[in-house]
Structure 1
Amino acid sequence: MKRLTVCLLLLLGFTLANCTEKKKVPVSHTEITADLIHPLYFQEEVSSLINFPFWFNDSIVVGNKIKQLTVTSFKGVISDTGTYNDSDDETFPKRAIIYTFNQSGRLVQMQITDFSEGIVISNQSFQVGKPGALGYCEVVQKDNLYGVENNTFTYKTNRITPDYAAFTASNDLDLVHFILNKKYFGPLSVDSIANPLPNDWIILGKPDRPEKRYKVRNKVKEKFISNYSYYSSNYPKMIANEDYPFFKKRYFSYEKGHFSGYLDSTFIDKTFVTSVKSFIYYNSKKLPEKMIHKKEHVESVNHYQTQEIFTYSFYE
């Protein structure tokens, strides 16, 4: 009888342990699939480093025989129905960027045009070289029309080691320091390796997967801080920007594994101020077609939208 009782207890314990193990099985997440444009392209501080143009998937560029991609941002305010308001000056483009690819899918040229009230005020053209260490590409400015001061910096290699890399901006003043080894992410290590000046940017991580970005004064006093978290690889989950008294969080969305947009929330002293919901739409070839940004203010029921349009030309 005692032997039977012991057996029953052992069997009950095994059954409960087995159930507990089943409950611990993690919920699987949808695998993220690469699209033509990487989500980090829409993060301004990442895409502004034009010497590291990892933003486009060369296999998709080749597969669709894409020759040029034009991204046009509009100043205009559009209603919730997607139609423009009556004022003509609200339909003008704000900026147009033309990306040119060779037949191997590599980005070879960029042309950036800025507008004011429909008038071109700046037109800059850049030749993009082959990627090397860290994905760095030499970028040579070909044109800068209309006498407007260059507002897009290029970068030259200052130093590259397995643990650290530095690049000097075309204004010959600012540096970008990449701390590549997590072992040296601490403030004293950063100061010892990079010896950054107050106007320099410090980036913990690689150019295509930053983990933190900031400026520093007196070794430990940080400002203009951005922190990045990821789902997998370098697909962003959330990016937090802190510039007191402002604090902004951007949450990225993926629908059925594809990038579908992001939500921005802005706070002042922990008080919610405004939110912007951005949605990306794809055409029948699964190429980005447009992006809509819907902005809402906490003290107003008036919502408004702006948009970016993606257009293409193709190799025959």
Structure 2
Amino acid sequence: MKRTLVYLLILSGFLLSSCAQKKKVEVRKSEIVADLIHPLYFQEEVSSLINFPFWFNDSIIARQKIRQLTVTSFKGVISDTSIYNPESEDETFPKRTLIYTFNQSGRLVQLQITDFSEGIVISNQSFQIGKPGQLNYCEAIQKDNLYGVENNTFTYDAARISANYASFVASNDMDLIHFVLNKKYFGPLSVDSIASPLPNDWVILGSPDKPMKRYKVRNKVKETSISNYEYFQSNFPKLITNEDYPFFKKRYFNYQKGHFNGYIDSTFIDETFVTSVRSFIYYDSKRLPTKIIHKKEHAEGVNNYQTHELFTYSYYP
């Protein structure tokens, strides 16, 4: 009888502990909320797919009456301190501007990309963004352009869209992206059977707004340029890793009081740490991002190399 009682007490304690831990995890996950810009916007391979512009919260844009968002990237500076000092930044010449134009419902309708060299425009691309359709795919029509060496943004046309698989071909008629949407077909042989990817094609397991894995493949099973994505909840990223021999990169996403506030990139070669970049996002009183600071730190602990981006807004009356 005593042995049974002890067993029951241990079992009860274990169950209570498990429930408490589960509740703690659930509470932590439920704290993450949507801000104006989705964290995956800062993932280049995601934000470069301009036919899938899910990066902005249309409800917040409409409520704040935002007409345009301009993201301006500036040159880097060397800083000996870890304290951010805006007075020390060289904002004379921007490197790139991204101008996003929204309608009054909060939907993205136009994107303009301009690249600079010492204050001179060397490339300009403008795209008209259509309404989202299947898989939230938006037609992107390239408008006025100033062609230059930096023009490398492509639009994609839908080749095939189904419940389990979708493919899109780039405007350069060379690049092809395969989305395997159903987890049932995530295996290499299934991917080859459904998509038949060529060595230069990208294969993405998951959807455009929630990729699980991204890679290229040769001979059905030899994968290269592999990126893996982990999430806290929904499509709020937790960790993204990238393998491109000899480099291995990790990106950890940080959230404070439920809000995304930056990320940390670490680069390794043969398991040896090489460098890290800490990115901090600053918000105004309306929870609109105003600035992002990228601080690069080397293994030797030498001076930090810092770059930054500014977010500016124009509004509807």
TM-score by length of 1: 0.93
Cα RMSD after superposing both structures:
1.7
Q: Is the 8 A contact 1:77 1:84 kept in 2?
A: no
1:163-203 residue CA offsets vs partner (Å, 9 max, x unmatched): 10000000011100000111111111111111111111000
The unaligned stretches of length 5 or more in structure 2 are none
Bigger Rg over Cα: 1
CA distance in structure 2 between the partners assigned to 1:83 and 1:289 by the alignment = 12
Write out aligned runs for 1:300-315 (5 A). Answer: 300-315=301-316
2:302 aligns to what SS in structure 1?
coil
Q: Is the 8 A contact 2:124 2:151 kept in 1?
A: no
CA shift, 1:23, in A, is 1.6
Tell me if 1:220 matches 2:214.
no
Give the corresponding residue for 1:3. Answer: none
Q: Is the 8 A contact 1:76 1:84 kept in 2?
A: no
1:72-91 residue CA offsets vs partner (Å, 9 max, x unmatched): 111231534424669x6x74
Write out aligned runs for 1:92-171 (5 A). Answer: 92-146=93-147, 148=149, 150-171=151-172
> Is the alpha carbon distance of 1:271 and 1:148 closer, same or farther for their aligned partners in structure 2, counting shifts above 3 Å?
closer
CA shift, 1:14, in A, is 3.6
CA distance in structure 2 between the partners assigned to 1:85 and 1:286 by the alignment = 25
CA distance in structure 1 between the partners assigned to 2:297 and 2:150 by the alignment = 34
CA shift, 1:305, in A, is 1.3
Matched residue type, 1:82 = N
Tell me if 1:34 matches 2:24.
no
Give the corresponding residue for 1:231. Answer: 232
Tell me if 1:187 matches 2:188.
yes
Write out aligned runs for 1:1-316 (5 A). Answer: 6=1, 11-25=5-19, 26=21, 27-28=24-25, 29-30=28-29, 31-77=31-77, 79=79, 80=81, 81-83=84-86, 91-146=92-147, 148=149, 150-316=151-317
1:230-265 residue CA offsets vs partner (Å, 9 max, x unmatched): 000000000000100000000001101100110100
Q: How many residues align?
A: 308
1:25-81 residue CA offsets vs partner (Å, 9 max, x unmatched): 212315210000000000000000000000000000011010000011112315344
CA distance in structure 2 between the partners assigned to 1:245 and 1:292 by the alignment = 27
1:24 aligns to what SS in structure 2?
helix
Q: Is the 8 A contact 1:144 1:150 kept in 2?
A: no
CA shift, 1:150, in A, is 3.3
CA distance in structure 2 between the partners assigned to 1:191 and 1:13 by the alignment = 52
Q: Is the 8 A contact 2:49 2:155 kept in 1?
A: yes
CA distance in structure 2 between the partners assigned to 1:227 and 1:54 by the alignment = 20
CA distance in structure 2 between the partners assigned to 1:85 and 1:285 by the alignment = 26
Matched residue type, 2:85 = G
> Is the alpha carbon distance of 1:307 and 1:52 closer, same or farther for their aligned partners in structure 2, counting shifts above 3 Å?
same
Q: Is the 8 A contact 1:76 1:92 kept in 2?
A: no
TM-score by length of 2: 0.93
CA distance in structure 2 between the partners assigned to 1:228 and 1:169 by the alignment = 23
Q: Is the 8 A contact 1:290 1:310 kept in 2?
A: yes
The list of structure 1 runs, each at least 4 consecutive aligned residues, that deviate by more than 6 angstroms after superposition, is none
Q: Is the 8 A contact 1:94 1:116 kept in 2?
A: yes
